[in-house]
Amino acid sequence: MTRALTKPSRRDLANYDPARGLKSIAVAEAAEKHFARAKDATQLTRAIRAKLEAQADFVTWWDHVASKDKGGQPRRTRSSSATGSRAGRDGIPERYVIDRWRKRLGDEDAFEATFAAACARYIKILELEAGAHVGHATGNPEWYSPADHIEAARVVLGDIDLDPATSATANTAIKAATIYTATDDGLAHDWIGRVWMNPPYAQPAITNFCAKLAASVRAGTVPAAVVLINNATETQWFRELADVAAAMCFPTGRLRFWGPGKEPGASVPLQGQAVVYIGDDVDRFCDTFKPFGFVVTVRR
């Protein structure tokens, strides 16, 4: 079964054990509390995601196997464990709980928004761990890209013609010829030239910015780009970029960002990053970015 609610295969449903699924939710919830107390940001976010994935799996099973038909009787299936399952009985959550899970996890965007909100609840705890921030959760535009990665991007691109999601302060390091700030609304403009982009991580902005870049590449107005994003390879917006990418770098460890009034490296994201390259000079990108981590080329 998948992480958001989708139509499962019969094989998926036949193999799903609701008792084991509910146990997975309970284990993940316990892990979430444990790692929050331990202030372990990496393990905490993994536990939150595992909990939500387990809840989504349970709701998928409930909707396709155990929910009642119009006559009020449970659907009969080959799975004996499903027969007679009723909300609020025999360890099955109350119906309102199942309905809440369904609403919060109904598709990929809803799942990611719920994950972000769950992480945001712990943001004060997580900030105590080396000044960590939840970029994906808050979409905070006031954390800026590491200078060494910007310089590497400039080596690859030659110059940066456009940064469509930035601020005047951030551009003191990026030095793009044209910038669009939150006030300008970069999505409302044509994107032309070589692009550096560290998009806002909140939804729906990150999806919209990645889609806009991919469309500009296909239209021929953006010949090359370097994009710094979370390494959320399962998301729609990451696949949008992967479809037009030539190469990627997955940095070793988590990058350190900076912000107004903060020392360089003051913020450490909770998730790993990826640098996506779009363009023809793949060798230059790989040679320039391999000191940061491992690089891969995209084959089609």
pLDDT digits (tens, 9 = 90+) for 201-248: 777 888 899 999 999 999 999 999 999 988 888 888 999 999 999 999
| Residue 182, pLDDT score | 84
Burial of 231 (0-12, 13-18, 19+ CB in 10 A): middle
| Residue 89, pLDDT score | 62
Answer yes or no: are the C-beta atoms of 116 and 140 closer than 8 Å. no
The rounded distance, in Å, linking the Cα atoms of 272 and 232 is 8
- What is the helix (H) or strand (E) element at residue 268, kind and residue range? strand 268-269
Q: What is the mean pLDDT of residues 257-274?
A: 57
Smallest Cα–Cα separation from 191: which of 209, 174, 204?
209
User: In the structure, what pLDDT confidence band is assigned to residue 115 with cuts at 50, 70 and 90?
Assistant: confident
The neighbouring-strand residues paired with 225 are 195, 278
| Residue 75, pLDDT score | 44
Q: Would you say the pTM of this structure is higher than 0.85? A: no
Burial of 7 (0-12, 13-18, 19+ CB in 10 A): exposed
Strands 273-278 and 225-230, by their bridges, are: antiparallel
Strands 225-230 and 195-197, by their bridges, are: parallel
> Is 138-297 assigned to CATH 1.20.120?
no
| Residue 230, pLDDT score | 85
Which letter does DSSP use for residue 93 in this model? P
Strand ranges, E, within 188-231:
195-197, 225-230
34 pLDDT above the threshold of 80: yes
Please provide the distance, in angstroms rounded to a whole number, between the alpha carbons at the two ends of the chain: 27
